[in-house]
Structure 1
Amino acid sequence: MSIGISDEQVELADSLRKWAASLSPLEAVRAAEGDASAGFAAIWTAADEMGIAAIAVPESAGGGGGTVLDQAVALEACAHELVPGGLLGASLGSLLTGTPGRYGVQVRPGGVVWDGGNATEALVLDAGDLAPEVGIDLSARHARVSGAGGTGDAGDAGDERRRLLAVTLAAAEAAGVARWCLETAVDYAKVREQFGQKIGAFQAIKHLCAQMLETAESVTAAAWDAAVAADADDAEQWAFAVDVAQVTCFDGAVEVAKSCIQILGGIGFTYEHDAHLYLRRALTLRALVGSADTAAERVTAAAVKGVRRQVAVDLEGRDEAIRPDARATAERIAGLPADEQREALVAAGYLTPHWPTPYGLGADATTQIVIDQELGRAGVVRPDLVIAGWAVPTILAHGTDAQRERFVRPSLLGELTWCQLFSEPGSGSDLASLRTRAVRVEGGWSLTGQKVWTSVAERADWGICLARTDADVLQHKGITYFLVDMRAAGIEVRPLREITGEALFNEVFLDDVFVPDECVVAEPGDGWKLARTTLANERVAMASARLTKSVERAVELAATRDLGAVERAKVGRQVALATVCGLLGVRTTLRALGGHGPGVESSVAKLLGVRSRQDSSELVVELQGDALAVLDGIDKTSGDALAADIWEQFNTRCLSIAGGTTQILRNVAGERILGLPR
């Protein structure tokens, strides 16, 4: 997905990409190779006529009257086509001065003048003459200040604002570069054949493309947020968002560009292919903005001071009609004794407002967000439904009226606890190969088999269970979805001790367990379809400003220990990653508010969220040196902080395994999102 989320911004990006492609920009880049005086005049004239660099300049000054975000959308689209001629410097200078122009801008003293070789006006911090040069980015003509001395004509009083705007706009270009590289690599993987099949069918290629997707979406989200923050009136939040973008976008664009060449193979290494031109742009952008580690240190310093990214969502007045009732209901629930609040949430439909009535409200995205905001404001915390949050939606969507009456409300009230009987010793991620058998008997079915990795089975009242009812059809077609009474005869639960030393999971043995017909959901053979069921009205929620547990712990260590620069940078990178994960959720929510279904962000957020939690928990332990070598056991409840930190590090190892391994999820992303062959 591109930076723009609104329909207007998406349309702007689409039209600009088409316009840019019509200019044959890459032909112009190649034709001007080695010519330091090449100004790409024809392309600049076209860009000037379109007013591309002045989109965010006030109309009264001859600009487009748009926002910084609009300008970022335009730069991303033009970078996608690698439009030469100095749009980055011109956009930056136009924003700094409030006047359209063909600017070159020196962002820091002693530094290169961005697009100075194409400029008719220069905003420099050092006095001297501009000397245009051909750098590794063949689509740009940056310049040095020769004979520098004294203070130049800065043209803008705020050097910090200059830096923030520069990184914000450069991040948008990085997003465009990353997007082109991803699309080019995926398109090639769909058609290039080796060993008798499309290379996109090879798992190694599929995983590399999926990782490119993760990185490109991270770059896009961080670039979007920096532009959003630039338009808001909060200097601290903008600086934080810009530093997160600097940590994320430029290394990310370089990595995606390198991976593109890798997937293209020999053709990608040739000078004739365009891929190296994008790598050159990515490398140059990274060099222009400066060190990501320095930005990461600033992120750490800000986080230690309590700064967290908070993205305000403009509901455009759609909340006015529903907010008073939501506030009154939330305040009424908050005024009840704690042991009565859950029942009140259920009665109001506020525990699961996205579920259909009478168990929820069938609430749209706006209503869900307003309810969340008002419950948060009133201090009401929703109880976690845990496995019921997966079981009950299936019953709602596919169950009988009797099943809904029997199971839904008691589950919402917490009167029933559920477990999930899906995974087996020989069929974890490969769920379709499960071997638990269900045989027809009078009045129902007899289930025999073994399940594993089943949390809360030792105290669950009911389990959702997949079992094979027909061995003579394709694997995924012979599976049925059962509701199993965990107190039934023939069930044995054995705890499994994990690497934490605790028994959080269980093995469950089913030996001729009777399940009556009324506990089959939908029809026999529908189990595979039901296992993938989600309600059409998906849950929508704004991301919390708070970071994940281990990232917050890392920030705490940064605040209380004398960490070196390398360690502070590591903490900052984890803060940035966790922030980007939250931003992906925000972008998903904004799409829902605009009436669109989930984009790729939700899938990417799952993969990045696992990496964030695992890496940050590992970093927390690393920051505490060799003390773990003499620690007497690990126990999250012992009161020993290091013991709890190591427990968390060990426990998060399951995240890349449970619910489908990371590798399987990347296969899914490659096939279902990127369209790579199976």
Structure 2
Amino acid sequence: MPLYLAEDQADLATAVSDFADRFADIRQTHENLDSYGAGGRPSHWDELVANGLHALHISEAHGGQGGSVVDTGVVVEEFGRRLVPGPYVSTVLASAAVAGAADCKASTRGLDLFAEGATGALIMPTAAVTALATGEGWALSGQVPVASLLSAEWLVVGFADEAATRFALVNAESEGLSKVAGSSTDLTRDAGTLVLEGLLIDVDDVLAGLGVQYVETLQAGMLAAEASGIMRWAVEATTDYSKIREQFGKPIGSFQAVKHKCANLLITSELATAAAWSALVALDQGVDQQALAAGSAIQGGIVPSVDALTEAVTIFGGIGYTWEHDAHLYLRRAIATVAQVAPVGARATALGRAALELDRRIDIELPEEDPAFRQRIGMLLDDAAALANEHDGGRWNSRGSQRTFLAENGLAAPHWPAPYGLGASPAEQVVIAQEYARRNLLQPSSVIGEWAMPTILAYGSEDVKEKFALPTLRGELIWCQLFSEPGAGSDLAGLSTRAVKVDGGWELRGQKVWTSGAHEADWGICLARTDADVPKHKGLSYFLVDMRAPGVDIRPLKQSTGDAEFNEVFLDSVFVPDAYLLGEPGQGWRITATTLQNERTQISSGVSTGTEESLRRLITDGGYPATDDAAYAALGRIVAVSSAIGALNLRETLRQVNGLQPGFGSSLAKVAHARLSREAATVVLQLAGPAALFAQAPADAVTGLLGVPQVLIGGGTVEIQLNVIAERILGLPRG
């Protein structure tokens, strides 16, 4: 999904795409490749300025559109997708930096100039540029490579002396400054070396109050937005090509290897979009959050773009390697984008150090919030906070407990319909989650019950709903899921457990396996075959099974970790009353889809997925020296992807809050999280070193890796999920 999360930004993206069609089509870009390296304003610049696309983030007082930096990010992403040539990104980076400064002579002058259509470039502080204090300001000397330097009419130059780091607005024709042209990697933009030979910076040229972290975050967010657009093109172009290019008499998109390549491209692209968005919204947060967001945008958004475009070329095959094809132009731009955030390794280390004790957090702002609703929820949670949760034999005691109060007031599962929940909208769920967090209260979870109960509420009788709903919410009933079988894992419809009609109900026979928590469960949701004479998806029915009924035999399965969380469950003539058949016989597959879609919306301001916790513990508790950059760089890379996954999930919530159609982010996030879990566990093992000779190695270095297959297999293997993404989301043909 694109960067935008609101309807007005969606309209903006459409308008930007129309602009590219009219004034900067890729065919025109191919025809004019020889001209862009010389610099200057491209032919479409006047139209771009006339449409205000350069000044969305500049206030109306200075002649801009009065929008946000995120609005400009939407344009950057779409221009990246369409490979619009010229210095747009460098210009908006410079002008947005100026807009982030305090009101001063330099910012006023700069905003007026950029609003009028001046081009610009941003030069981050670097050791290659030295600043010598003078009586009236500073004299700058040094050399630094700069993207779109030859086109820039005004420069925002960062520099540092012994006292502070500053940014100044500089005319690109100033004395003491020269531009040395170079052969640009990105053929649609120029590049040059900025040579400073005693360039004088007056005090009035300094952009007051402009912090280094703010500008770094701005740069990371905008360049990640461009990387997102580049990768969106790769996803769309390779998917379209895979549908029509035939080999061996079939479209290449029907081959699993190509499906997986395309699906992986989509995942990488979506993580980049989420990381870019996270960085841009961090501009309104503190410097700690900005540091985390900037690092994530670089490692999770910008850096992967080169591999993604390289992979795209391999999907196109030989044609993608030709000069005439668009692919190398996009790859060149990706390379140039990564070059602007170098050195990448040092940035990963810096992110790891910043993330050692901090998580990325984003506060959700709600449009048209109802204050009365928040007040009512707050008062109920205040009452709940005064109550204690009591445990009785591992189960919740229902008398006077906090959980019972929450359940009976609709706050244990507020998204459920009344009378068991509040029928809370996505926006109301955000309010409730925020109020829980303010009081440091944990919203109750019934685990598998959160899948089972919405299905029961949709298909069960009133008596069945009443029997199960509140006891489940109060924690008095525990559920398990009797789906998988020895011969039916990812191919769930291939199950063989049989249900035969008898007087008053059904008799179930069969074997289930990998059933989490069956040894503790009171009830199970169970799929069984009631008709063997119809196609396998159509002969299934959905039952509620009493786990203590005669004929239920539960046998724990000891895992490679030594734990026994899973079980085999044998059903030997287990009787299930008619009332506990949900829906009609043969509707089981459709009802199961309801179950699998009813995971509770996870709404939180936390963006981290927690995948990095073991690595954090290894560094903090495992005696890793503070000078060991390898461990911190590894943590930085893991945190970057973890934060991008969390931001991807959060964006799904915000789409719903803003009234847009839900996307497919959660499906992509599952695959990304499974892979990241494997990578994180592997890194912990490698850093643990000889300590992994012992089972109780620090930070779960051994048990963590032994448990990774559970993540990779559970809920359908990664490979099956990639097939689903390729076929159902990208529309590639079945094999």
Q: TM-score range by the shorter chain?
A: over 0.9
Match of 2:722 in 1: 666
Q: What percent of counterpart residues are identical?
A: 40
User: Hey, which of these two has a bigger chunk of strand by percent?
Assistant: 2
Provide structure 2 residue ranges, at least 5 long, that are not aligned to the other structure.
99-109, 130-142, 160-175, 391-400
Supply the distance in 1 between the matched residues of 2:569 and 2:211 (Cα, whole angstroms).
64
Deviations 1:503-529 (A, max 9, x none): 211111122222222221101101111
Residue 145, structure 1, aligned to residue 225, structure 2:
no
Q: 1:32 to 1:153 in 2, by over 3 A?
A: farther
Q: Distance in 2 between matches of 1:597 and 1:537?
A: 17
Q: How many residues are paired up?
A: 667
Q: Kindly indicate whether residue 87 of structure 2 is the aligned counterpart of residue 23 of structure 1.
A: no
Equivalent residue, structure 1, for 2:442: 381
Q: What amino acid maps onto 2:183 in structure 1?
A: V
Task: Tell me the SS of whatever aligns to 1:41.
Answer: coil
Amino acid at match of 1:57: I
Once structures 1 and 2 are overlaid, which stretch shifts more, 535-544 or 157-166? 535-544
SS in 1 for 2:707: helix
* Cα distance, 1:432 vs structure 2: 0.7
Structure 2 equivalent of residue 569 of structure 1: 633
8 Å Cα contact 1:125-1:152 kept in structure 2? no
Paired residue for 2:121, among 91, 104, 112?
A: 104
Aligned runs of 1:282-293 on 2, under 5 Å? 282-293=334-345
Q: Give the drift of 1:579.
A: 1.1
Judge conservation of contact 2:150–2:190 (CA < 8 Å) in 1.
yes
1:222 to 275, 281, 301: 275
Determine if the alignment matches structure 1 residue 70 to structure 2 residue 87.
no
**Higher deviation after alignment, 436-445 or 351-360:** 436-445
SS of the residue 1:370 aligns to? helix
1:349 maps to which residue? 410
Cα distance between partner residues in 2 of 1:141 and 1:94: 19
Secondary structure, aligned partner of 2:576: strand
Q: Which residue of 2 aligns with 1:637?
A: none
CA distance in 2, matches of 1:40, 1:277: 20
**2:351 matches 1:299:** yes
Q: Helix, strand or coil: the match of 1:481?
A: strand
Q: What letter corresponds to residue 198 of structure 1 in structure 2?
A: P
> Residue in 1 aligned with 2:575?
514
Per-residue CA shift, 1:143-192, capped at 9, x if unaligned?
1124x433465955457244433322222211111111111111111222
Distance 1:458 1:338 in 2: 23
1:367, CA displacement in angstroms? 1.5
Post-superposition shift, 1:38? 5.5
In 2 relative to 1, CA 324–347 (structure 1 residues): closer, same or farther, beyond 3 Å? same
Cα displacement (A) at 1:128: 3.1
Q: Is the 8 A contact 1:354 1:537 kept in 2?
A: no
Q: Which residue is 2:374 aligned to? A: 323
User: Is the CA contact (8 Å cut-off) linking 2:120 and 2:152 kept in structure 1?
Assistant: yes
In 1, the alpha carbon distance for the partners of 2:630 and 2:698 equals 23
Give the residue type in structure 2 aligned to 1:256.
A
The AA in structure 2 aligned to 1:20 is A
Matched, 1:479 2:530: no
Q: Provide TM-score, normalisation by structure 2.
A: 0.87
**Change in CA separation of 1:423 and 1:4 when aligned onto 2, cut-off 3 Å:** same
Are 2:248 and 1:199 equivalent residues in the alignment?
Answer: no
What CA distance in whole angstroms lies between the structure 1 residues aligned with 2:63 and 2:605? 40
Counterpart of 2:654 in structure 1 is: 590
Partner of 1:603: 667
Distance, in Å, in 2 between the alignment partners of 1:546 and 1:516 is: 44
Equivalent residue number for residue 14 of structure 1: 14
Structure 1 residue 217: deviation in Å?
0.6
Of the structure 1 ranges 205-214 and 541-550, higher mean CA displacement relative to structure 2 is found in: 541-550
Give runs of aligned pairs for residues 334-483 of structure 1, distance below 5 A.
334-339=385-390, 340-483=401-544
Contact 1:319 1:370 in 2 (8 A): no
Asked if the contact 1:222–1:580 (Cα under 8 Å) also holds between the matched residues in 2, the reply is yes
Preserved contact between residue 691 and residue 698 of structure 2 (Cα < 8 Å): no
For residue 181 of structure 2, what is the aligned residue in structure 1?
A: 132
TM-score by length of structure 1 reads: 0.94
CA-to-partner distance for each residue in 1:617-658, whole Å, 9 max, x for gaps? 3323322211111x1x45xxxxx745x442233223201111
Deviation at 1:575, TM superposition (A): 1.2
Shift of 1:464: 1.1
Partner of 2:84: 83
519-528 or 295-304, which deviates more? 295-304
Which one-letter code corresponds to 2:665 in the other structure? E
**Deviation sequence 1:528-578 (CA, Å, 0-9, x none):** 111110599874443353745551332243345216222211111111111
Q: Say whether residues 1:653 and 2:709 are aligned partners.
A: yes
CA distance in 1, matches of 2:537, 2:596: 21
1:473-508 CA deviation, whole Å, 9 max, x = no partner? 111000111111222222222221111012211111
* Cα deviation digits, residues 195-236 of structure 1 (max 9, x gap): 222222221111111111111011001111111112x15233
1:252 alignment counterpart: 304
Structure-2 separation of matches of 1:129 and 1:669? 51
Asked whether the 8 Å contact 1:25–1:43 carries over to 2, the reply is no
Residue 117 of structure 1 aligns to a residue whose secondary structure is: coil
CA displacement, residues 383-439 of structure 1 (integer Å, 9 cap, x when unaligned): 321211111111111112222122222222222222111101111000011111122
